[in-house]
Structure 1
Amino acid sequence: MATEQSIADERQEQPELETTLRSGSLLMALAGVAFIAYGVVFLVLNFVGSGFELGVSTLDGMTKADLNPAVAYYISHLHVATAAFIISTGVAVTALSWYGIRQRLTWAWATAVVAAVVGLALALPMHYTAETFTHDWVTHLGPIYLATIVFVVGVVMAYRGLNAT
């Protein structure tokens, strides 16, 4: 039989775990919004900026105007598609975090984690291979790394809240 002290301890711990769950899901949702913002910037730069990604101003000294028009259009096409998938992943992470995880749905937590991890795991390694163009690391990857740190902290906090008894 539980003692009065252990029952009192459980009652005190429950609101703390609920706060941890809500704070974690909020951080995950904010990271999702940051993913959306990064994708929107990516998209805008394609049409009204340099025509290249955030942190990339030229390709081996060549601007978009210097490229063969077919190649420039193809690069633009890939940037729009990439931006669309970054934005859609951000929407999914945000919605799953804000609506699903806060309702204690473990599948929503797992889906948000998998969606973000798959995108990051596939996209980030390419930035560390031999490149024929240079990019400003801070402006190119800094925002995503910052959002990822916020996301990971939220994932851990939400996990602790979800797995509370």
Structure 2
Amino acid sequence: MATDQPVADEQGVQVESQVRNGALLMALAGVAFVGYGVVFLVLNFVGTGFELGVSTLAGMTSADLDPTVAYYISHLHVATAAFIISTGIAVTGLSWYGVRQRLTWAWATAIVSAVVGLALALPMHWTADAFSHDWVTHLGPIYLATIVFIAGVVLSYRGVRTT
């Protein structure tokens, strides 16, 4: 019976390490979501006036557009950036404070928050090519953050599951 204790201790340490590292990856992805949203916001005011990876719309810059249309696009960009940033803050907080404590509800809520945003936003990019954009700069950062997030979710699963 005494020989079982070191094995159990090693497994406990491994699970704790997986939870900690998984939570860290999930939180880092949340920070990346915030960063993407901030870049999105900054580009609206001091960049092209369009999203990351979009320089023109059918050859037109934001200055070439009707001012009302340009302002409406800007309005949508600010709102979108705000929701990307707020989702990133939620994912970061839930991951760093909740997942590290092995709180299943925090783990699940972080996943749902990220998945709902991504599931609603990304498919639009795979439909008709109504405007040209650089796929790498436009979606690359979000895909990379999503991969990091998924790695964290998978890594932390075992520890969160055993609570």
* TM-score of the aligned structures, taking structure 1 as reference length: 0.96
Match of 1:32 in 2: 30
Mark the runs of 5 or more structure 2 residues left unpaired by the alignment.
none
Match of 2:76 in 1: 78
Match of 1:154 in 2: 152
Shift of residue 131 of structure 1? 2.3
Shift of residue 67 of structure 1? 0.3
Match of 1:41 in 2: 39
Q: 2:99 aligns with which of 98, 101, 112?
A: 101
Match of 2:139 in 1: 141
RMSD of aligned residue pairs (Cα, Å)? 0.9
Mark the runs of 5 or more structure 1 residues left unpaired by the alignment.
none
Match of 1:21 in 2: 19
- Residue type at the aligned position of 1:78: L
Distance 1:18 1:132 in 2: 48
Deviations 1:83-120 (A, max 9, x none): 00000000000000000111111000000000000000
Match of 1:7 in 2: 5
Distance 2:69 2:133 in 1: 19
Deviations 1:2-30 (A, max 9, x none): x3333321111101110100000000000
- Runs of 4+ displaced beyond 3 Å: none
- Residue type at the aligned position of 2:7: D
Which SS does the other structure have where 1:4 is aligned?
coil
Match of 1:123 in 2: 121
Deviations 1:97-155 (A, max 9, x none): 00011111100000000000000000000001002210000000000000000000000
2:63 is the alignment partner of 1:65? yes
- Residue type at the aligned position of 1:41: V
Identical pairs, percent? 74
Which SS does the other structure have where 2:3 is aligned?
helix
Distance 1:93 1:125 in 2: 21
* TM-score of the aligned structures, taking structure 2 as reference length: 0.97
Distance 1:4 1:121 in 2: 50
Distance 1:162 1:73 in 2: 46
Deviations 1:23-43 (A, max 9, x none): 000000000000000000000
